[in-house]
Chain A
């Protein structure tokens, strides 16, 4: 019954979600190593974990960083000074940023619509949001490229307006928006769900109009999650390769993205150059990752707890 749910006693202001809590169940530790637990398998499971992580992640990571340093500081600055490298970083950063902004705006709208409104097909739409996660990037790439080609369904509509998406830098932006969208929706959605509709109702009984409710009540509450969704979309866009190369003309200085530049360096057997650019990308995505962590800490600050 409707009222039963409303009147069930529950904590007044639930603690803010801690989506990514990774605390161990119990601290069973004396000194540095786990005290004898009656649970077995610590050594074996840790061994497997470290072995796989080393072969797959850690050693390759070390190899790349090692190769990058062998280039030396002067080699590194020379590489960075090259117009083609600068051009690729400019294309990647600008397109990723614009795509992440677009994803943030429309992702927020889609999340709000999915949480707060009811319409036929809502569940289908909800499931569709994850399509960019599930659809292989190469498939998305050829589909977007065909769609926005001058003779494609959307390209043919845009061509008379003088807008060319496929085989230009605009195509890079479209592909990166596609891959970034679900990150925003999926990070805003749970927070919005957790924010009782009562907050919006309270604001409306106090006389706030929809715009004021959005700016003063909704936005401040979901800003941390929106920012972290934005950061994830941005990080993903920076590294994206598969969906971009099909729709972009891949022209150096114009629409060549950094991952493609790395591939080109590899094909020219410039391993050190590729390693240096790769390391730079890694540092960049670490900065974004750090930003996400800081934002999540902001979300969990005491005032929101």
Chain B
């Protein structure tokens, strides 16, 4: 049965450095949760504490309701996939996968035939049956990753922890393996926690995302929730590229430079009048050529199906992503002026987003 995990008030310091500050988090059985954050946000420390490789200074880690903090890692039945795989170099692929079964106490150890059968099944699962006699040094990065995963699954863990599982792989392999892992997770009854600094990976693979920064949880939610309703500027900026459009609020109406737009609802009530910043994704930002527009276009750079249009607005350098096809007839040229037309954006009450519910604003 997949595990239910409750992390309650966990803190950890290393000398002067606070790796985790009062982290509380609940993970439902069978979920695949991504812990997302920049380097140094404490996400790997959190994972290691759940695995028992690290001790928290304070707090509890409940697995299926039992406190696990004092339990040694080898008794937790937690599968851990290390960032650099940590495969045993002197063992073949087969031996690596069989390791967790072979080291069980004699009474619980499966028979030799059962171990063979189980390892073969796992090799089939990770599609590496033909490599069972190879040593780790003879495998590609993606293959090592899959061996590491099979090795962790061999002990039939209730909980599978993955520390930057694709961090050491190149972009193409990373994509393939990610999809494969997602399917694999659906097929195996296990709760999964994935640590990553790659927002695309988190958005594509996980059921829920936990965003962390400087040892604190910033937001927890489904990929769609955190992407469309970010709680604060950090979350918005970490999940994708951002253009900051200066705007003004006056008596419930929101005006961006060059054109007034009316807010959908409640602007006046929640955000005080005055100068503010609208957070907009570049692909939610349109540009119309306009001789009297406030934006001055600097460069237009094609990038795949998009054109990256860089422009200056009230002294800030911003950019919009427009479909490449739309540029030709648009009249937008470097050096020309234009009117920025945000289609969707978010207003935060102040720089650090103390509001529980930021204002989402869209042109109807």
Contacts and interface: CB of A to CB of B under 8 A. Distances in A.
A and B touching (C-beta < 8 Å)?
yes
Interface of A: 1-4, 6-7, 9-13, 196, 198-199, 201-209, 212, 216-217, 220-221, 302-305
A207 B100 contact: yes
28 contacts: A1-B17, A6-B44, A7-B44, A7-B83, A9-B167, A10-B84, A10-B168, A11-B168, A13-B144, A201-B80, A203-B103, A204-B53, A204-B72, A205-B73, A205-B79, A205-B80, A207-B77, A207-B103, A208-B100, A216-B99, A216-B103, A220-B90, A220-B91, A221-B90, A302-B138, A303-B138, A304-B89, A304-B135
Contacts of A204: 53, 72-74
Contacts of A196: 84, 86
Interface stretch (B35-43, B254-262, B314-322, B356-364): B35-43
A206 to B, nearest CB: 4
A2 B42 CA distance: 9
B197 A7 contact: yes
A198 B103 contact: no
Interface in B41-74: 41-45, 51-53, 72-74
Given A3-B44, A7-B197, A203 B99 contact: yes
Nearest to A6: B44
Among A6, A11, A12: residue with most chain B CB under 10 A: A12
B28 to A, nearest CB: 22
Contacts, number: 124
Contacts of A201: 53, 73, 80, 82, 86
A198 B90 contact: no
Nearest to B15: A2
Contacts of A209: 74, 103
B135 A4 contact: no
Contacts of A13: 84-85, 87, 89, 136-137, 144
A3 B76 CA distance: 24
Contacts of A221: 88-90
B83 A205 contact: no
A210 to B, nearest CB: 9
Contacts of A216: 88, 99, 102-103
Contacts of A199: 86, 88
Interface in B81-139: 82-91, 99-100, 102-104, 135-138
Contacts of B102: 216
Contacts of B89: 13, 221, 303-304
A6 B74 contact: no
A169 B136 CA distance: 48
Nearest to B53: A201
A3 B168 CA distance: 15
Contacts of B42: 3
Contacts of A198: 82, 84, 86
A53 to B, nearest CB: 38
Contacts of B83: 6-7
From B76, B78, B100, name the one whose CB has the most chain A CB atoms within 10 angstroms: B100
Contacts of B141: 12
Contacts of A303: 89-90, 135, 137-138
Contacts of B154: 206
B31 interface: no
Among B43, B77, B90, the most chain A Cβ lie within 10 Å of the Cβ of B90
Tier of interface size on chain B = 35 or more
Chain A interface helix/strand/loop/mixed: helix
Given A7-B197, A202-B86, 6 more contacts: A2-B45, A10-B168, A198-B82, A204-B72, A303-B135, A304-B90
Contacts of A202: 80, 82, 86-88, 151
Contacts of B249: none
Contacts of A220: 88, 90-91
B155 interface: yes
Contact of A208 (B44, B74, B136): B74
A206 B17 contact: no
Contacts of B45: 2-3
Interface string B5-36: 00000000010010100000000000000000
B53 A205 contact: yes
A13 B86 CA distance: 8
Nearest to B95: A216
Contacts of A212: 103
A1 B40 contact: yes
Nearest to B84: A12
Nearest to B97: A206
Contacts of A206: 74, 99-100, 103, 151-152, 154-155
A285 B269 CA distance: 90
B85 A12 contact: yes
Most buried by A among B42, B73, B164: B73
A199 B90 CA distance: 11
B250 to A, nearest CB: 44
B38 to A, nearest CB: 9
B257 to A, nearest CB: 38
B110 to A, nearest CB: 12
A2 B138 contact: no
Given A13-B85, A206-B99, A2 B151 contact: no
A4 B14 CA distance: 14
B100 A304 contact: no
A206 B151 CA distance: 8
B233 to A, nearest CB: 22
Nearest to A5: B39
B213 to A, nearest CB: 12
Given A204-B72, A304-B137, A7 B103 contact: no
B303 to A, nearest CB: 24
Contacts of B44: 3, 6-7
A204 B99 CA distance: 11
A2 B40 contact: yes
Nearest to A222: B90
For A1, A220, A302, the residue with the greatest tally of chain B CB atoms inside 10 Å of its CB is A1
